[in-house]
Structure 1
Amino acid sequence: MHPRRRASVLDCERLSPGLKERGFGWPLLLIDEQALDANLEKLLRALNGRPLRLVLKSLPCTALIDRALARAGAQRLMVFDVGMLLQAVQRWPQADLLMGKPLPMAAVELFFRDLPSSCAFDPARQLHWLVDHPERAAELAAFAGGKGLTMSVAVELDIGMRRGGAAGPHELAAVLEVIRSSDGRLRLQGFMGYDAHAGKAVPWRGQQSSVGLANQRYRALLDLARRDFTELLPPGLMINGAGSPTFMFHDQRSPLNDFAVGSVLLKPAEFDLPQLSAYRPALWIAAPVIKRQRGVRIPHLEALSVFSRRDALFIYGGRWPAQPCWPKGLRASLLYGPSFNQQLLSVPRQSKVGEGEFVFFRPLQSERVMQQFPEALILGDEQPDERWPVMAQAPLRAGL
């Protein structure tokens, strides 16, 4: 099922009847293999040998992660969810894992409770918990002391995102003092400073300037740690940051030595940013048309349908956080309203798409959207019908 392409996007006009002919009759998650590989190569060239840490929530597919890790020649992941964390340590037991957000203590306890004893993963060495304030660091230290554990931590820095973390020298010093006084229960691995706010320009400050200001804040906090807490800093101190909207603004002068990136490999629609114009959309949703009706008839307003120059399509499924993108002129009906079951879309009357054929969407994001599908159908050259399982949400049970 190798679709021809026009202007680096899927040729949906050929793909739509092709999916029907091959016997597909349900919503599909599609990954364009050529676009994925091209995006990965562009990303690695942009990083120019600097370490890449793949963001698992944005790429929740083990085959995709395996492919990217192999090409990057590294085993670094950022994880945000305890269920996904438990899956990751078993799938990639040699990987270095950084938590992308602080977790409640109940989630930390669940991880250690449910970590298989046979797993080769070493949390003390390979897993870095994120701490954002002294109280959270103290909670982790108390937990580690009670369990006889050593826990590796990274300190979250607020370099302009305003979403928590140490924003100034006094706040950072307070966190580092807890680590210093933990009797070795907490071991500092590094820092994480997220600068996604800088990826969107504001009238009074451009993106490059915003990233520069964020880096200035990052350096000031690093200087404090190096001056006053030298004994806590390990060789190869991790200085993590960036993201898909900002990695390209970090040149060789950036303080970062660990770049967290994920979404740009698939480039969902919310990443149609000027700085990512060279990257190609690689993620799509295809849904079959189950009904086509002449005119768009709205309950209680049926008489107005005689003026309609569009036809109604009812599709299998719907209400995904995604943009309708094919056929040309495809759009949702604000009057009829959305539906998870049979969403109404409308098309110009001259559109040829028929029942059993497919319409196409671009997801706004990859995270959570991908996990609404059990697998992704890979559109490529060498293995045209390959399927990659999507990582399912793991069932979690409180320790009550």
Structure 2
Amino acid sequence: MTLHRDVDPAVDPDDPARTGAVEPLETAAPAPPRSWDVATVGLPAPLAVVDLDAFDANAEDLVRRANGVPIRVASKSVRCRPLLRRALARPGFSGVMAYSVREASWLVDSGFEDVYVAYPSVDVLALSELALDGLAASQVTVTVDSLDHVRMLAALTRPHGLRVAVDVDSSLRVGPVHIGVRRSPVRSPEDAVAVARAASDAGLSVVGLMFYDAQIAGLPDTSPAVRFVKARSAASLVDRRRAVVRAVRDVADLEFVNGGGTGSVHLTALDPVVTEVAAGSGLYGPTLFDGYDAFSPRPAAAFALAVTRRPGPGFVTVSGGGYIASGPPGWERLPALFGGRDLRMVRREGAGEVQTPLQGKGARDLQIGDRAWFRHAKAGELCERFNALHLVSGTDLVETVPTYRGEGRNFG
């Protein structure tokens, strides 16, 4: 993420697209393991892999940084049921943070428990079905952050007992400057109590609070200014979070207080009022999580594209590649060549819908049918481009498992 202020977010003086800066030849990550090519030999590209050794090492590192506080795994950053189960089978992980009510109900039907939908939903049909399903309603918690949400849920058929959590804005405010993301309008203890009390009065069961500090969790430590903002934000949030939790506990029997993300697990877990932290991206280690001071996830997820053309000296073209990450536009949202070769994307074309040209001295060594490896900028969004993930360990192809997309599930 970037620092969001009350100005046009497109006006970013450091954005390469505005300054004309040239993107780097390759990522700072090491070259992809030769073992991936060996493990997936004979499989047609484009293909996506998850290195189980790196995935497990990243999971272990998250547990270490959480320092005994349970980690709720963020499904949007994984989007693969077998890998969600793999993470949850590890001590230190407990519960799922989902991003859709329909997804949550599907996961519960699949045997998952304690699923928290961390974004408000206005899918009245899905919410109505949830309220009428005793098992799902007992395992799924939905988010509210306004009286409007409460009224909508109260109007459902048999809403009594539906579990809800209040999302509390965790951005940093410095005078008129807003640093963070635009999420909940609930900020003060009074705001949170008003929503919680209204929900309880409507027959809803208020069981949780959420505090997502995007300006800490999702921002690499790229400069002293960023580090200062993150430190000030963390200190400010500790005091405000404590006050909100204390106030809401007076009107609701809270089961959980959720906070943080992959980039702030180690900080959020220090707060005694937090009962669980959230993380998911750190399992795959995408490029937007390069450059943090406190941790360095191993690149666990990557994809390979096949060379289909040699349009001229110093150039090759690979199939596909236009897997652009969400967020503010910029070169950092494009897939990154995974080291090991003197190659770069062609600025005039970038990552294309059906083909992506590459240029550089490394093109001399690539022949038709060879592969180029890439890392996605974000974690789970990669799974929206592939029906399957090939799970590898060393030179072994351990298993091929479906993504959400491969199971015919699209939750937006």
TM-score by length of 2: 0.79
> 2: CA distance between counterparts of 1:288 and 1:177?
57
Cα 1:342–1:253 change in 2 (3 A) is: closer
| Residues in 1 aligned to 2:160 and 2:345: alpha-carbon distance in whole angstroms | 54
Q: Equivalent residues in 2 for 1:327-342 (5 A)?
A: 327-336=340-349, 338-342=351-355
SS in 2 for 1:329: coil
What's 1:103 paired with?
Answer: 121
- Among 164, 189, 193, the residue aligned to 2:211: 193
Q: Hey, what's the Cα distance between the residues in 2 that align with 1:276 and 1:380? A: 26
Distance across 1 between alignment mates of 2:297 and 2:258: 23
CA distance in 2, matches of 1:158, 1:134: 15
Output the CA distance in 2 between the equivalents of 1:79 and 1:251: 20
Hey, what does 1:225 align to over in structure 2? 248
Distance in structure 2 (CA, Å) of the matches to 1:356 and 1:382 = 20
The separation in 2 between residues aligned to 1:209 and 1:365, in whole angstroms, is 26
Q: Does 1:53 align with 2:72?
A: yes
RMSD: 2.7
Q: Quick check: 1:32 aligned with 2:66?
A: no
Paired-residue identity, %: 25
| Structure 2 counterpart of 1:244, one-letter code | T
Is the alpha carbon distance of 1:48 and 1:147 closer, same or farther for their aligned partners in structure 2, counting shifts above 3 Å? same
- Counterpart residue identity of residue 184, structure 2: G
Q: Which amino acid aligns with 2:373?
A: F
Supply the distance in 2 between the matched residues of 1:276 and 1:329 (Cα, whole angstroms): 29
Q: Does structure 2 retain, via aligned residues, the 8 Å contact 1:377–1:386?
A: yes
CA distance in 1, matches of 2:280, 2:126: 26
What secondary structure sits across from 2:298 in the alignment? coil
Q: Report the count of equivalent residues.
A: 358
Letter in 1 for 2:71: L
Question: Would you say 1:380 and 2:393 are equivalent positions?
Answer: yes
* Inter-CA distance 254–339: structure 2 relative to 1 (3 Å threshold): same
- For 2:100 and 2:341, how far apart are their aligned partners in 1? 38
**Distance apart, 1:13 and its partner CA:** 5.4
Q: Describe how 1:159-174 pairs up with structure 2 within 5 A.
A: 159-160=170-171, 161=180, 162-174=182-194
Q: 2:318 aligns with which of 311, 315, 320?
A: 315
The equivalent position to 2:168 in structure 1, one of 152, 157, 164, is 157
**Correspondence for 2:225 among 199, 203, 225:** 203
> 1:382 & 1:347 partners in 2: Cα distance?
29
CA distance 1:150–1:288, shift in 2 (3 Å) = same
Could you report, residue by residue, the CA deviation over 1:44-100 in whole angstroms, capped at 9, with x for unpaired residues?
Answer: 12223211100000011111111111113654000112342232112224x101111
Q: Give 1:354 shift.
A: 1.4
Distance in 2 (CA, whole Å) between partners of 1:344 and 1:249 is 41
State the Cα distance separating 1:114 from its structure 2 match.
Answer: 8.1
Q: Which amino acid aligns with 2:291?
A: L
- Deviation for aligned residue 1:369: 1.9
SS of the residue aligned with 2:184? coil
Distance, in Å, in 1 between the alignment partners of 2:410 and 2:266 is 37
After TM superposition, the structure 1 = structure 2 runs for residues 1-400 of structure 1, keeping only pairs within 5 Å, are: 9=30, 11-12=32-33, 15-16=36-37, 18=38, 22-72=41-91, 75-93=94-112, 95-104=113-122, 107-113=123-129, 122-143=135-156, 146-147=157-158, 149-160=160-171, 161=180, 162-182=182-202, 185-199=203-217, 200=219, 203=225, 205-227=228-250, 229=251, 232-234=252-254, 237-295=255-313, 311-321=314-324, 322-336=335-349, 338-348=351-361, 351-381=364-394, 383-392=396-405, 394=409
CA distance in 1, matches of 2:35, 2:410: 39
Given that 2:391 and 2:401 are in contact with CA atoms closer than 8 Å, whether structure 1 keeps it comes out as yes
Per the normalisation by structure 1, the TM-score is: 0.81
Distance 2:348 2:209 in 1: 49
8 Å CA contact 1:86–1:111 kept in 2: the answer is: no
User: What is the one-letter code of the residue matched to 1:27?
Assistant: P
TM-superposed deviation, 1:342: 2.0
Q: What is residue 300 of structure 1 aligned with on the other side?
A: none
Letter in 2 for 1:43: L
> Between Structure 1 and Structure 2, whose CA radius of gyration is higher?
1
Q: CA deviation at 1:394?
A: 2.4
Say if 1:29 and 1:286, in contact at 8 Å, map to a contact too. yes
Output the CA distance in 1 between the equivalents of 2:187 and 2:372.
47
1:200-242 CA distances to partner (integer Å, 9 max, x unpaired)? 3672834233222112111111122234x2xx224xx310111
Query: For structure 1, which runs of at least 5 residues remain unmatched after alignment?
Result: 1-6, 296-310
* Cα gap change, 1:116 to 1:149, in 2 (>3 Å): closer
Structure 2: unaligned runs, 5 residues or longer: 1-27, 172-179, 325-334
TM-superposed deviation, 1:33 = 1.4
In 2: Cα distance, 1:114 partner to 1:395 partner: 18
Bigger drift between 80-89 and 259-268 goes to 80-89
Misfit runs of 4+, over 4 Å: 7-16, 114-117
What residue is the counterpart of 1:298 in the other structure?
A: none
SS of equivalent residue, structure 1 residue 343: strand
